[in-house]
Amino acid sequence: MDGNTYGYIRVSTREQNEARQLAAMREFGVLEENIVTEKLSGKNFNRPLYQRLVKGLGMEDVLVVKSIDRLGRNYEEILEQWAYITKERKASIVVLDMPLLDTRQGRDLIGTLIADIVLQLLSYVAQTERENIRQRQAEGIAAAKARGVRFGRERLTPPSGFRNMAQLWREGGISASTAAEKLNMSRDTFLRRAREYCASLETVPKGGLKT
C-alpha cells in the first residue's frame, strides 16, 4: 500500500485521555505530522479537523482511530462515517481497540462484508449500553426523589434581619440595593429571595418598588 496513514484523536475539554490515544498512534507507527488531534466539548461536535481529514483521504490511505466512538456520537453516525470512508473515499480504517475492524486486509467483497457486520454489531451494543445507562440514571434519580432526596445546591439560610428588610422593601421603604448592602448580599440575590418571600406570603409587591 503506497498511501499515507493518518491518526485521528478526539478528546473533550474535560477528558484526560489524549496522551493514551497519542501513545497508541505512535506505537502503531503513525507519523507525528499525520496525527490530527481535536478537542471538543460534549455539546460541540462539528469536528472541522476531522471533516478536513476524511475529505482528503484517498484509495490507498489508512485512517487510524483508538476506538469506534471517535468516528461519531452514536450508532447511526458511526455507521455513516464508516460507509463514507470505506466506500466513498475508498480508504481503509483501523480501530486499535478492535482488531477485527481493520479493513487493510481482506478488501474483497467478503472481507468488507465481515467488517461491516462486526461494526454494526459493536456499534449497536455500544449505543444500547449508553441508552441503558441513561435509563438507569433516570430511574435512580426518580427513586431518590421519591425517598425525599433533594438534588442541586443546598439553599443557604437567609442572613439575620432578612425578613424585616424584605418586608420594608415590599412596602417601598428601602431600595433593593440598600437592603442588599445592609445584609451583605448581592442585589440580585436579595431581589430573588425577597420576591420568593413575598410570594410565600401570597402578597404581590406593590408597583413602584425601589430597585
Q: Which of 122, 140, 207 lies closest to 170 in space, CA to CA? A: 207
AA identity, residue 118: V
C-alpha atoms less than 13 angstroms from C-alpha of 26 in its C-beta half-sphere: 7
Of the residues 12, 67, 175, 177, only one is catalytic, namely 12
Q: What angle do CA 123, 46, 42 make, to 5 degrees?
A: 65
7 neighbors 36 (Cβ within 8 angstroms): yes
Query: 3: exposed, middle or buried (C-beta count within 10 Å: 0-12, 13-18, 19+)?
Result: middle
12 among known catalytic residues = yes
Q: DSSP string spanning 190-201? A: HHHHHHHHHHHT
Which active-site residues does the annotation give? 12
